[in-house]
Every structure is written in structure tokens, then in C-alpha cells.
Structure 1
Amino acid sequence: MINQRTTRRDWLMASAASTLALSMTLAAPASAQDDADDQASDVITVTGFRSAIENSIAVKRESTSIVEAISAEDIGRLPDNSIAESLARLPGLAAQRLRGRAQVISVRGLGPDFTTALLNGREQVTAGDNRGVEFDQYPSELLSSVVVYKTPDAQLVGQGLAGTADLRTVRPLDRDEQTIALSARYEWNNYGALNAGSEDSGHRLTGFYIDQFADDTIGLAIGFATQSSPTQSERWDAWGYPTVGAGDLLLGGAKPYVESRELERTAFVGTLEFEPNANSHTTIDAFYSQFEDTGILRGIELPLAWSGASLQPGYTTEDGLVTAGTFSGVQGVVRNDTRFREADVMSFGINHEQTLNEHWTGSLDLSYSSVSRDDTDYESYAGTGSGYGTGASDTMAFELGGSGGFVFGSSLDYADPSLMLLTDPQGWGQVGFIKRPSTEDTLTALRVEAEREISQGFFSSVEVGLYTTDREKTKRSVEDFIDLANGGATNTTAIPSNLLLEPTSLDFIGIAGMVSYDPISLLNSGVYSLRPNLNADVLTKSWDVEEQQVIGYLQANVDSFLGDTPVRGNFGLQIVHTEQSSTGPRAGQGALLSYTESESYSHILPSANFSFEVAENTFVRVGAARTMARPRMDELRASQEIGINNQVCTTNDGTGNPAFNAANYDIAGGQSCLTVSGGSPRLRPVTADAIDLSVEHYFADGGGYISAAIFNKDIDNYVFGSSARQIDMTDAANAIFDSAFIAANPDITTGILYEPVNTDGGYIRGIEVATNIPGDAVAPWLDGFGLLASYSYTESEVQPDPNQAPIAIPGLSENVGNLTVYYERGGFEARVSNRWRSEFLGEVTGFGANREFRNIEAESVIDAQIGYEFGPGQFEGLSIFAQGNNLTDEAFVSYLNDDPRQVKDYQQYGATYLIGFSWRR
């Protein structure tokens, strides 16, 4: 049933929660045995990380699907600082870092868009422009467990094509006593505060209250988590690499800077359960998170080969890349920028389950999820003069550093405020720029389900249900050019002395310092004026997408024998009907129209999962299913930008009149007067036929396992690129040209639309091996030690265009691995973890906040933790610990054109350290 306590899967989750609650009750070291107990025995108490592993293994073992699980070490303590980091340690999963922290997850090589997230079994909205969940919105401290379904069943609504992550919160009636838990952490980064005015340390506070009332018929759980976490980074960003001389690659320009960010998040979670008798159970869940991520970025943008700067003779070339030399005539743009994001996430759900008679149980679930996100991306420029060539120029030596970025030698003092003025150094037509995109996403869902228990025969129960959702996502974007109030973008103004800060060091690129000031106060001081950017590419960033979905499902559950072999599982199907529509502007060439388009479709998604216990503690699992992933929201947008093919027509022939060149008109050959490009509300979901096979052996004491799995997904209707088709553009033609010109040239009303399309697809397949080996399973003297390890190999190929070579699926690393060595005994705990992934095609935010795919280099991240839990006595219930994350300062590196020499972005975040305590009563 919907409530996680009754159906086969829901029973599994309740059992896992009960196991977790029991282990937490035992987490305090054992007290002395009753003196009246004549049979004294040694009691082995499993606590902390080892307890979390064993609970996760129990969920994996008892599931009929192929799943991976994470369980909390204690109330308010998942094994890692974030959900994404914990998920990235599971077999076949990998994280992509953003600003030094794991944020989005790839499951079995498929990117974030193919994985969905549930909260207590309910589908959640997302803060980004797409469907990929940004897990840093959910504090790990407020979760009790996470289950990742790699194979779905018919009852799993909101399922993803790659996998489904179900985030679980505490169920108070699964515990048998009042619990109060508190924890606190202090954290800092070894880089310190790279920017003047930024924070170099932070904190995290968490509290939980769990209790039961009225003879355990009412349960209440309330939790809060607040944090202020600073991150620091040194970032190298290249403009690109043109060629020079005999075709050698040359740095075209650079935008290196140091970035200091502070993540502030306050979240609350609450659960109220009411179970007056064995036949009735009601659960109310609420979650709220307020998220603010503020960043200050300071650096010097250096237009080089793609500007007026000149490469001097005598440069050095290695392997076709200019690695050292000198540029003259360099006029840098000193940048003092800020980036800000605020997001409010809310989720609410109410579930009631009722036993109708000895055979039938029914349930009703109503939920609501919403997110409101506001961003600000603000740039402020300074330099020696207005427009290239008017101020002092720099002669800069450059040399390739070991990190993949370049270091420079400068002849100018960039920290001198008398030399660096507020202006437009390169003649870009602005002294700054500000973008303010915002997103609203809401989802309302209703689920009705009935289950009939079957006491005899091969089947144990049959479930039937109906699930409906209504989702609306809206994006708006406001952008402004920044001018000087005293002279537009063609003047200079000294930086107000009261806003000057200590110079910012750029030692990592060889420049001792640059002038620094408070850009927010500057914007509010009246020095600047704003000029709206009404270009079509800005207007078309606004859109609305609506989706209504109805899912009917039927599932038969199995708990029987096949000969002498126990078998459990299920088979069933979902019938999914979707209606989608989008409204957005069709803008450009002076036209501004509203455009709306809709589409509807239905899919049948069969699924089957079976678990055979072929020997004691040895299981063979088989899963087969058709799954789907609906297109990204920004791909479904109706907003489109209008363009004119100047080879065919113009709005001004030089005399103020429009002109049409009939000789160049060839609509069949793609030569029309008007073109339009954008999203497509007509897109259909990506689908996959998947088959999975897993063999798992569990150690008799429940503390370890070893598993191996293979999987294959045949993907169809993959969304990629763009395709051209003819459309009627009469409305646009009327807005751009006069009626007489259209009457004389009727062909201009037929245009060409370039939009994303569904293509044939391809495949993704791979193998996964994983194990947890407690030391005492190997030798008694290793008691307390343990090894947790996994490795996966995945390959993929999609061919969106039969005339082009196949490509790898974005987000896929062929090799992904995790290794954790741990020790836990006598209250002492220590562990070291390493997660790594090979290179992959990642999604990043590019120029203009647009989505870009870039090659990301392989990475290996090492974390460690040490702690101690006090036993019976004055400090019973108290634990202290210390953590270190990214201990080797692993860089995040992207490169261009499949050439690792052409480093585009090189980011280093330093190591983060935390010390803290937790207390439970």
C-alpha cells in the first residue's frame, strides 16, 4: 500500500525502519547484565557506521527488487555530510560536484535527468530547470534512510528510467521510546577566506524529538537542521584555444578568479502518526527547507589572442600547444562579481490506510510539493580605461602550470585603485551586467490503492491503484546592462573609497593582488544605472510547462516456492497517460508573440521482479521492465527565438525598405526567409527496455555480503540535438513586415523551425560487483575491522543522427568505484573512504546560464572520519567525532574538443574539516 507499513515492499521498509530503530536502541554500549541472570554471556553491540551498514544490507537482502540502501548511523546522522555523497558510494552510482560538494547523481551511467527522487514515497519537484534532483536541498541530518531502486515494479510511481531514490524520514511509531537527539559541528576549509569579507568557518546544528502517546497509538517526530557552510575555490576558466603559426593551439583568453561561497540552510521535518487500532493508520508528513547560497567571485578576465593583445615572437610550443610566451597590449577586466541563489522547498503529505476486512486493505494518499527559486548573477567591471586602447596596457608573460591553467607575470599593479577604475575596459557596451532568473515548480498528487491478500497458492496478494499528478513549472528571467550613472558605458569613475576592501590575492595565477570592493553596496549607491536587456535571447528564457499524468497500475505479488526453491517477487504493469503543454514567447526581429502547444500520449510499462533463494543466504534476482523518462522541462518549453536568413530576405535593403531575394529561396533545401529555434512541447519520453540479473550471497551473521550484477537497457526515443521542419509563420511575418510586402512575397510566411527531437536511441549496459567484508569473517584478530567496496563498468552508445558517429550518453563514466576501510570497537570508530570515477561528459552552466556539455576529467575523492562513543556513565549517549573531506584537494577539470590539453575549467576547493558531537537520550 502507499503507507510504507503494509504492502510487501512497504512491509520491507517498515521492517528496515524497525531494524534501524532497534539498532539505535542498542547503539549505547551494553549495561551490566542483571545479577539474577544466571546465564551471563558476552553481548556484541553493533553501533555507528557498522550498524548503518548492517541495516542497509538487511534492506537489500529482503527486497524483491534490485536495490541499494543507506541507513543512518544514529538519529540525525547519515554516514556522510550530504545525501549526494552517501549515494555516490553505492554500487553503480556517481556524483558530479558543484562548488566543491556533490550535488547531482548519475545512476548506472545515466545522468540526473533519468533519475527521480521521492520523499517518503512521494514524487518531488526540483529547483533546477530540469528534472534532475539537486540533493543539497535535503539535509542528510533529517533522513533515516535512502533506498535506490535499480529495478522498478508496477507499484513504484514516479519511477525514473535509470533509478529511483526514495528519501525516508523517521517513523515515530517504529520506535518504542521517547528520544531526544542533538548534534553540532564546526567546520572550516584549509584555504581560509580567499575573498575579503567572506567567511572561513561555519557550523551545523541538528535536533530531534521523537515520542509516543496514548498507549503508543500516536507518534510524533520533529526535527530541525540548520547550517552555515563556507566553501572556497580557485578557478581557472579559459576562453578557448585558437591556432597560431603552423596550427599550434594558443590560449585565446582567460577568466581566472577566486570564489568564496556560503551555504545557509534551515530545514524542518515533522511526522504525526495515528494508529488507534490494528485496522487503521494515518500518517501526516511535512518538510520545509530554506536554502541560500551566496558567492563572491573576484578575478581578472584577460582577453588575449581573441582581442587586441599580440603574441610576441619567441614563444614555446610543446605537442602542438603554446606553453610559454609573452602577450603585449593586454587590457584586463577586473571583476568583482556576486552570485546568489535562494530556494524554498516544501513538501506535505497525508496518508490513510484502512483494513476493510480479512482480505482487503485500502489506502488514500494526498501530497503537495513545491519549490521557489530566485537567482542573481551580477558582474561589475573595472580597468584602466574605457574601451580597448584608451587605458594603460599590460605586457604579460605566461607559462603553463602543472594544474592545466597558466600563470602570468604582469607589468601593472592590479591592486592600485587609482589605476583601476569603474569602466568598460574592452568596449563591450556595459560596465557590468545582472541576471535575475526565477523558477516556480509545484506538484499535486493523489493516490488511491487497494490490496487483496491471498492466503493460498502461488500469489500472496494483488494490488491495484490509481495515481494522478498535476505539475506546473514556470521560469522567468530579467536581465539588465549596467551603465555608469554619469556617462553610460563610455566613461570612467573611481571606485568609492568607502567601498574598497583589502586586495584579493591571485597568487595561483602569479598575480599578487587585485583591487576589491563591495559590489552589492556599489550597486545600491547610485553609481550605476540599469538598462533593460530586451533582446530575444533573454525574452525566450521565460516559459511555462504544465503536465497532467494519470497512472493506473496492477501488481501481483509472489511469496511461494518453485520446487524446493523459495521465490518472492512481483509482476504487473502501469498504464501511463500524460498531457503536456507549454506557453512561451516567440520573439525576435521586433516581434513578440505568445506561443502555446500541447501534446498527449500513453505508455504501457510492464515489469517483473523475482528473487530466488537458490541456497541458504544466496539469492538470484531477475528484473525486467520497460521504463521511461519524460523530457527535460527546458526542452519542453514553447519559447522560441525568431531569426531572419539574410541570404533570402532583410528588413532593410539600405533604403529603409524590406527586400526578398527569390533566387536564394529554397524551402526544401532549408533556405527560408524566417527561422525559429527553441524547445518543443511535442517531445515524447525516452523509453528503455531493461533486464537485470544479480547474484548475492549474505554472510550468516548478517554483517556482510558479496554481489555481482549485470544489466542492459535498450534505449529508444532519445532526445537530442535539433531537427528542421516547415511551419506556418504568418503571425511572425505580420509582426515584422508590412502587409504589402507579404502580399508581394507570400513565400516568406513559411518558415523553418529548429527544435529538439526524439531519435532512435541506443543502449547502456554494464556490470557491478560489491561487497562488505567484516574483519571477523576473515580472522578473529580482525574483529572490528571491515571493508566496503564496489566497482562498476558501464558502456553506452546512442546515435541520434544516422549520418553521424554514435556518442556516449552524457553523465556516464565507464569506470566507477568506491572503497571504505573502517574500524569500530569499544566505542572507537575510524574510517577512510575513496570514491572515484573515470572521465565523463558532464552538464555545466555555460555562458548566458545556458546548459552545456563538457568533457570532465577523472576524479578521486578521499574522505576520513574518526570518533568515539562514550559508554555507561556520566557521558552515556555522547559521541564526538572529526571528519576530513576532499583530503587530497582533488580538482574538478573540464576540457574542450575531446582534447585534455584544452583545459576549459579547472577548479580546486581545498579540504574541508569538521569536528563535532552528537548526544542522544
Structure 2
Amino acid sequence: MSPFKPSVLTLALVAAGMSAVAYAAEENAPQQDEAQTVEVIEVRGIRRSLAAAQAEKMDNTSIVEAISAEDIGKLPDNSIAESLARLPGLTTQRLNGRANVVSIRGLAPDFTTATLNGREQVTVNENRGVEFDQYPSELINSAVVYKTPDASVMAQAIGGTVDLQTVRPLAHGERTIVVNGRYEENDMDQLNPDVDNTGYRFSFSYIDQFMDDTLGVALGLSSMSSPSQFERTHIWGYPETGAAEGNPLVMGGYKPYVQSSELERDGLMAVIEFAPNDRLHSVLDVFYTDFQDNYSLRGAEIPLAWSAAQLDPNSVVVEDGLVTEGTFNGVKPLIRNDYEDRDADLAAVGWNISYILSDLWSAEADLSYSKANSQTFSLESYSGIGRGYDEGLQDTFDFVMTNEGAIFNTNTNYADPALVQLGNPQGWGFANGIQDGFINDIELEDELAAFRLSAARIIESGAISQVEFGVNYTNREKTKDYQAAYLQLKDNAATPVPSEYLLPSVDLGFIGIGDLLSFDSRALYNSGNFYNEFDALQLDAWRQTKSWSVKEEVMTPYVKADILTELWDLPLKGNVGVQGVYTDQSSDGYGTYVDENGGIQVVPLSGGSDYWEILPSLNLSLEVADSQYVRLGIARTLARARMDQMNASLELSYNADKVDSTDIEDSPWGGSGGNPELEPWMAWQYDLSYENYFSDTSYFAAAIYYKDLENYIFQQQTIGDFTGIPVAGEEPALREGYVSIWQNGQGGYIWGGELTLSVTGDLLHDALSGFGASVNYSYTDSEVKETSDSEPLELPGLSEDVINSSVYYEDYGFQVRVSARYRSEFLGEVSGLSLARDKRYVDAETLVDAQIGYDFSYSGIAALEGLTLLIQGLNLTDEPFKTYENDDKRLVRDYQSYGRTILVGGSYTF
């Protein structure tokens, strides 16, 4: 077989946003007579996606990975995040059974930047990690992951930059109308009576050209209602117990739940592209999503060793320092009927205009604005047998530990509404008495405006083919407003749940408890008849520090030179450039402390800093043989600190008994919180790869990389200045004290390697032409220390081993694909107390998905031309999400089983 060279049509798809690709004659094929018929083979489906993505990877001067839509309005996975997770060096963490954030080369989502059509995006959480399930896959045409940056990539990151791209209607070149529809069902039964386990996905795409193909229009609409159902257990921790010899570890408490959620998302994408002549080109993009994720959670909170319950010493079975069987007496389960409503919307608009000034000069301007609003309201509603520990039944629970948590045995009917009533059976209190529920209410707003102006000049001779230079300016502000309230029953006594709020019981049989009382806590709370609310911010000083704002102004001048020459008579291309990044950052927050009279003092705090960073970059690609490339990337990169670490809020402490102390080691002052002067993570990174392209859809690649982290961000003690903080009594002799805040500390390194093989069956034998397979393996290791003498830290999001594989068959209209993703254990982040982020070890997992489809365009039935039917199965092995404590897999903290999801539907292309 002759060496592969990308055809003109293949390379054209790169400029077309990867919206179309075809196999054609090779560049060196002889010219055919006009009378001859030129056969053009149109490639569709999986091969179309692979060819488009491979062409982008092959043609780019940086080291990149890419995914492309199989067809307009359809990606090969259920979400953008799942598709990205199949790329070498990328993986995701699941949330509610769905992939939503991306890690690149062992670095957590905080080290990854996402852009839409090259523009940095705001986020709907309190940090920078983009939740990719906010972006409907039906409205995204392709994505490119920059593992090595160049100077023209404005939103650089140490991990990498993910650029989501919408279609370009003029490059698409023809009128296309596509309608997609799917029915979705989770194979778990309806775990909660008020949330269904079925859903749907619908999308509509329209692309057309007008005015002699000088005006292009694209419109996309999507709507989705996607259920998730899962059984989950959570163990509070493992304290020592004195009820057995040797003080073995035992469960501190147990929280089993059944959780049902419904993700509703509506999206809009619109593009207007105008090119009246070969000099002027203008594109206006609009993107909008409205995102609602509502869940019901019902279960029990069972305080054990960390409560008044007693472990019967005669029942204990101990294995390797862990109590594996036993009996707890005096157990008072707290029945939970909770819900959470999360409503977020994101809007982004951008206008790009470019103009060719002359044969050598061109100029470009880009103006963009994006804004995200998110509100999360969660309610905890407590009920049980008796209000307070001394009232009502104190139960006996037998337990046996398993690799999923624990199985219990009890003879009490916790679904009996005459027995289980509203009220806190543990009697947990706050300043105004017993707490019978709790509310968290968080509102986030993120706003970003950007302007970019650049020019380029073609160099007609020499190794440099073009020089581009320009400046980019962004102004971003993120604000978090946190509110919370304690709930207390109005009668201050156990209250039966009125019959109009009762629902069919839920089943906790998976942990042995059986049926559990279920009621509509949302309607009960909204009635206003049952609870008094007490502002938690006025009772707990630390809660006011959870509100803050962070502002950033960033100016980035840059220059980049494109390289096109020869080295040792071999083609060499690439780029070299530098960015100068000026940042002016500030934050407003609150300092709070409890004074000597027990009152909560709140003072406004603010701070900030400004700095320059210089980011040089070099990318080289040497074609060492036909369609074989050796690539080198060297760059200095930055990843901006998390915004919750940059905020100015501090939880302060003041001890009036030390008012006369002048010793900093015995200061009356102390505190902890954020640091508005925090600077970014910085790193030098070195990348080397070899790529061998066998055909339009087959290649082998091997890559190694090393990231030299100049610093890392740790929480460390420093001396803080408390001047101006009011005190109620005598003026303290000392206005300084130690505070624990986030600081830039010592760095370390991350290194790893990647292997990728993508092949089609026809490379082996013509009889296998319909088959294909791809597999990639990534290895990552790191060493980061807080000090030179400390032990290396576990980096969040870093899995040593990640493997992705897919096998597919596509011919005669049939399309079959089976994919598997393996990720070794890693340190993940989950939602903790008051929706804060907690770090926990996440166990290794393997996810298996499959799809079967048929394109009726191959059927010969004219009436069905354009119709494709599809069946998808996600998480076919029902792989659980499991976390554990202290790197000991026996000490299970979370175990969540999501079930399988089946989607059935089709698309019609007009």
C-alpha cells in the first residue's frame, strides 16, 4: 500500500471545523480526462468522526487530541465529557452517575481551561473547572484538546485547554436539517416515588447558505430530561472503639440513601457567518443553556460509635484491626427526606471579524461576553422515633461489614407513619434549641468580557512563514452569596406527617433496613406551617466567610512566528512565540469572630495583587518519513488559583484573656481562610511525541511529557495583620497573629507517557474492512512536597493508569461499537458538609458502553433515506463509584450504584 498523504478534501475539513470529510484521490494521482467519471466515496458515521479528528491532530503544529461529530447534531457519546474521556491522557470523574468534569494528564479540573470557539468560558460552580454536561453534545460539532500551547492560545493551562467548537455554516457548504430524538431509561426501579426513571433527548439542527454562498446560518436547539437513580451509602469515618481488645476501628456512623435526580437542560446555538468577498470574514456566535438538576434523597442517618449508641463487646468480630461484625445498642436512626434544586443558566456571545488588508497583511478582532448564574437550594428534613435521644425507641442494630459498606438487621418498621414522626431523634441542638432540619442556599454569578485584537504578516522567504501579534484583554468577576438556616418545628415537639404529604415508602433493602417512611418534604416545607427558620449566619460566625467576590483583569500581549522550512531535507513546521500576562486581581469578603461577650463580629475584608508572567512556547513538527512525525513542545504555562482559595474572607479568632500578650506565639489573634494575593501555579513543560499515520483513519502515536512545577498551592501558616479589627473591651497589646491561608509553596514534577493505536480492519485483510479498533494507554506519576522534608502529596485527579478501548463494525448501514474506559484509583473531590469540597480516595473503575445503529440510507428504500435508528447502553456492567479512607480499601466511605442506562432513538437528515 502506498504511503498515506492527506487528500485536499481531507485537509479541507480542518478549515471547515471538521464538519465534513471524504476520501479522494491522493495528491500525486495523475489528472483524469474530463470525460472520465471521478468517484468520490463519502465517509459517514464512525469513520467520518475518526478521519476528521485525525486530520486535525495531523495538521496541527501543536500536540493535540480531537473529537468530531459523527454527523451534524450527533456525537458518538451521550455527553461531551464522555467523548473527551476517551482521548489519550484524559479522564473524568462521575457525579450522580454522569461524567461532568475533565482531568488532563493527571491534573485535576482546576488545571484545565475550557473555551468555546477559542474564548474562555465562565463556570456554574465556585471555581474554574468547566462542567461539560452544561454544553449539549448535539450543539457541539467538535473539540480540540491542546496538550501543548502556542502563543495565540489565550486560555492556557498546565493540564491543557479544551476548545469546544460549533459548526461553521459556510465551510459546511450545503443545506442540512437534522432532527434527533431518544428515549432514555435507567434500569433501576423508580427508587423515589416522586422522580421518574425515564427521560428523553431531542435536538434540531439547521444549516444553510444564502446570497451566493456569502451568508451562512446555523441554528441548533436541544432539550433533555435525563434521569439518574442510585443507591448510595456513606460511612462517616472509623474511630477507635474501646469495646474490643486492642481498640480496633469501627464505623462512626452510617448514611444509606436512595437518590433520584432529573437533569433538565435546554440549549440554543446560533451562528451567522458572512463572507461577501475573499477579504472580509465575519462570524457571530450565540450559545445559551438552561440547566436544572433536581434530586430527591431519602434514607437514614445512623449515628453509631460517634453517638450515645454502645457497641456490645460480646458481639464484636475483629479482623486486622477492623470490627467486621457486631451489635450496636441504643441506636436512634434519623430518617431523612431531603431534596436539592440546582438551577443554572449560561449565555455566551462572540463576534469575530477578520480582514485581509493586502497580499501580506491581515487583521482580526474578536469581542465576546459570557455570563453564568447558578442557584443551589438544598433542604434537609429530619424525622424519627421520638424527638431527642431520650424519647421514643432506642433500637438494636446488628451489622456485618462488606466491600460495599455494611449490612444491618433490625426488626423495627421505619415506614410506619404512626411510629416515625417529624423531629430530630438525636436532639442535635443549636443556639435556639433542637435542630429539625437545615437549609443551604448558594447563589453564584460569573461574568466575563473579553476583547482581542491581532494582526498577521506573511513572510515570503526564509524559515518563518508568518508572524502574528496582538493583545487580549479579559475582565472577570465571580460572586458567591451563601445563606443557611436552621429549621425547628413550630410546636417544638415530634409531629406526625400529615397524610396529604405522605408518599409510598422507599426501599433500603440493599443495606438490610427495608422500607422507610417517605413524604413530600418540598411541599411540606413550602406550606410554611411546620418550621421556624433561624439564620445560621447569625448563629455560626464561620458561615459568613463563605460569601465573597473575586475580580480579575488580565492583559495578554503576544507574538507568534509560524515555522515552515526543512531540516536535514525533511519538512519542518511549527511555531515559536511568547505571551506576557499581566494580572490585576482583587477580592472582597468578610472576617468574622466571636467576641468576649459571645457576640458575632463581622468586618469587611478586601485585598489583592498584580503581577506579570512571561510564557514562552515552542512547537516543532518534523516529518521524518511519509506521514510520520516527531513533535517537540516546550512551554512555560500557568493555571490560575481556585477562586475559593483566592477569596478575602477569614474565619478569625480572638481571645480576650491574652489582651496583654506581646508574644506572637501567644497572640490573642488567629484565623484561617483565603488569600487574595495568591498567584497561579506555574510550570515548565516538555513534550515529545512520535506519530505514524497509516491511512485516513489509522495511526500509531507515542508521547512522553514532563511538567516541572515551579510552585504548588498549600494551606500554610503566616503572620497576619489584625489592625482595624474592632474589639469590645480593652485594646490588645498585639495586633498580629498566625493565620492559616493558601500560599504558593514548593513545587515538584509530573511526568508520564501515552500510547495510542487506531486501526481499521482493511489494513489486515479486505474481509475485515468494516471493522476497526482503537486503544490508548496513559501513565502518570508525580512528586510534589509541601517542604523538602515532607512526604509527597497525593495530587487530586491523578490516576497512574488510564486505558480506553473501542471496537466497532460499520458497513452496509450497520454500526456497532463497544467501548471500555479504565481508570486506576485517584484522589477525588466530593460534596461535603454545607456543600463544601472534600477530598477522598476513589477506587479504580471500568466503564463499558455500547451502541448499535442502522442507517436506512443503505437500505434502498427511498422513503427512509436519511433515517438512522440507534440503541445505546451506558454503564453496562453497573460499575459502582467507591471512595475509601486513608488509602485503605476496607475503610469504605462512599459506595454508589447507578445502574445501567438505555437510550433508544434515531435521527433524520433532510
TM range (shorter): over 0.9
Alignment of 1:102-181 (within 5 A): 102-181=99-178
Aligned partner of 1:393 in structure 2 is: 394
User: What is the SS of the residue equivalent to 1:152?
Assistant: coil
Provide the rounded CA distance (Å) in 2 between the counterparts of 1:17 and 1:438: 40
User: Secondary structure, in 3 states, of the residue corresponding to 1:237?
Assistant: strand
1:571-720 to structure 2, matched below 5 A, reads 571-589=576-594, 590-644=600-654, 649-650=655-656, 659-660=657-658, 666-667=663-664, 669=665, 671-699=666-694, 701-720=695-714
Q: Which residue identity does 1:672 align to in structure 2?
A: S
User: What is the match of residue 654 of structure 1?
Assistant: none
Match in the other structure for 1:731 = 724
Q: Does 1:359 align with 2:354?
A: no
Aligned residues: 874
| Alpha-carbon distance between aligned partners in 2 of 1:320 and 1:134, rounded to the nearest angstrom | 40
Matches of 2:510 and 2:746, distance apart in 1: 47
Paired AA for residue 255 in structure 1: K
CA distance in 1, matches of 2:395, 2:11: 65
Q: How far apart, in 2, do the equivalents of 1:578 and 1:20 lie?
A: 35
Against the structure 1 CA distance between its residues 122 and 448, is the aligned structure 2 distance closer, same or farther, given a 3 Å change threshold? same
Aligned partner (choices 785, 793, 798) of residue 799 of structure 1 = 785
What amino acid is aligned across from residue 737 of structure 1 in structure 2? Answer: A
The answer (yes or no) to whether the contact 1:149–1:165 under 8 Å persists in 2 is yes
The question of 1:369 aligning with 2:370 is answered yes
| TM-aligned CA distance change 1:25 to 1:815, over 3 Å | closer
Counterpart of 2:503? 501
Q: Displacement, 1:486?
A: 1.9
User: Is this contact kept in 1: 2:503–2:520, CA < 8 A?
Assistant: yes
Shift of 1:21: 3.5
1:653 aligned partner: none
Cα pair distance change 1:37/1:336, threshold 3 Å: farther
1:516 aligns with 2:503: no
Matched-pair contact (CA < 8 Å) for 2:660–2:733: no
**Aligned equivalent of 1:301:** 301
Aligned to 1:256: 256
Q: Distance in 2 between matches of 1:817 and 1:900?
A: 22
Aligned to 2:864: 875
Contact 1:834 1:861 in 2 (8 A): yes
CA offsets, 1:782-803, max 9 Å, x none? 1111111100111011111334
3-state secondary structure, aligned to 1:243: coil
1:196-345 matched pairs, under 5 angstroms = 196-244=193-241, 245=244, 246-312=246-312, 313-345=314-346
Gaps of 5+ in 2: 1-8, 25-32, 430-434, 595-599
CA shift, 1:637, in A, is: 0.3
Distance 1:594 1:131 in 2: 25
Query: Quick one: distance in 2 between partners of 1:12 and 1:271?
Result: 24
Secondary structure of the equivalent of 2:113? strand
Residue 8 of structure 1 corresponds to which residue in structure 2? none
TM-score by length of 1: 0.93
Residue in 1 that maps onto 2:3: none
Contact 2:589 2:604 in 1 (8 A): yes
TM superposition shift of 1:874: 1.3
Mark the CA change 1:264 to 1:790 in structure 2 (over 3 Å): closer, same or farther: same
Amino acid at match of 1:269: M
CA distance in 2, matches of 1:801, 1:391: 53
Q: Does 1:23 align with 2:28?
A: no
Deviation at residue 24 of structure 1 after TM alignment = 8.3
- Residue 855 (1) aligns with residue 857 (2): no
Q: 2:733 aligns with which of 729, 746, 769?
A: 746
159-168 or 750-759, which deviates more: 750-759
Q: Distance in 1 between matches of 2:156 and 2:738?
A: 36
Q: Contact 1:854/1:895 (CA < 8 Å) preserved in 2?
A: yes
Would you say the 8 A contact 1:799–1:805 is kept in 2?
yes
1:847-874, Cα deviation, whole Å (9 max, x unpaired): 1222221111111100000000012421
| Distance (whole Å) between structure 2 residues aligned to residue 14 and residue 772 of structure 1 | 22
Q: Distance in 2 between matches of 1:80 and 1:536?
A: 46
Structure 1 residues 848 and 14, CA gap change in structure 2 (3 angstroms): farther
- Look up the SS of the partner of 1:155 in the other structure: coil
Q: Equivalent residue for 2:81?
A: 84
* Residue range with higher mean Cα deviation, 371-380 or 314-323: 314-323
Contact 1:536-1:641 within 8 A present in 2 as well:
yes
Please tell me the residue identity of whatever aligns with 2:626. E
In 2, Cα distance between equivalents of 1:190 and 1:918: 24
Which amino acid in the other structure matches residue 619 of structure 1?
Answer: Y
Contact residue 12 and residue 62 of structure 1 kept, 8 A: no
Give the Cα–Cα distance (whole angstroms) in 2 for the partners of residues 25 and 124 of structure 1. Answer: 35
Structure 2 residue 566 is matched with structure 1 residue 561: yes
CA distance in 2, matches of 1:281, 1:828: 40
Percent identical residues: 47
Paired residues of 1:24 and 1:74 also in contact (CA < 8 A): no
**2:874 corresponds to 1:885:** yes
Using the TM superposition, give the Cα deviation of residue 751 of structure 1 relative to its aligned residue in structure 2, in angstroms. Answer: 2.4
**Counterpart AA for 1:199:** D
Q: Does the Cα contact within 8 Å between 2:332 and 2:394 map onto a contact in 1?
A: yes
Query: Once structures 1 and 2 are overlaid, which stretch shifts more, 315-324 or 441-450?
Result: 315-324
Question: Take 2:185 and 2:663, find their aligned partners in 1: how far apart are those partners?
Answer: 63
Q: Counterparts of 1:802 and 1:622 in 2: how far apart (Å)?
A: 31
Identify the residue that residue 4 of structure 1 maps to in structure 2: none
Contact 1:127 / 1:134 at 8 angstroms: preserved in 2?
yes
Indicate the residue corresponding to 1:528 in structure 2.
531
Partner of 1:769: 755
SS of 2:834 mapped into structure 1 = helix
1:876 CA displacement: 0.7
After superposition, residues 803-818 of structure 1 pair within 5 angstroms as: 803-818=789-804
| Contact map agreement 2:218 2:271 (CA 8 A) in 1 | yes
Offset at residue 707 of structure 1 (A): 0.5
State the AA in 2 paired with 1:599. S
Amino acid in structure 2 at the alignment position of 1:518: D
Supply the distance in 2 between the matched residues of 1:661 and 1:598 (Cα, whole angstroms): 30
CA distance in 1, matches of 2:333, 2:754: 50
Contact kept in structure 2, 1:522 and 1:528, CA below 8 Å: no
Q: Output aligned runs, 1:352-501, within 5 Å.
A: 352-401=353-402, 403-429=403-429, 430-487=435-492, 491-501=493-503
Q: Secondary structure at the match of 1:22?
A: coil
Match of 2:771 in 1: 785
Residue 46 of structure 1: how far off its partner (Å): 2.5
What is the one-letter code of the residue matched to 1:261?
S
User: Per-residue CA shift, 1:112-144, capped at 9, x if unaligned?
Assistant: 000100000111011111111111110111111
State the distance in 1 between where 2:794 and 2:640 align.
20
Q: 2:22·2:41 contact (CA, 8 Å) conserved in 1?
A: no
Report whether the alignment pairs 1:895 with 2:900.
Answer: no
Superimposed CA distance per residue, residues 492-537 of structure 1 (whole angstroms, 9 cap, x where no aligned partner): 1110111000000001111220100001111012111211112222
Secondary structure of 2:75 counterpart: coil
Contact residue 684 and residue 717 of structure 1 kept, 8 A: no
The residue type paired with residue 686 of structure 2 is I
Q: CA deviation at 1:808?
A: 2.8
The SS at the match of 2:285 is strand
**Gap regions ≥5 residues in structure 1:** 1-10, 27-35, 651-658
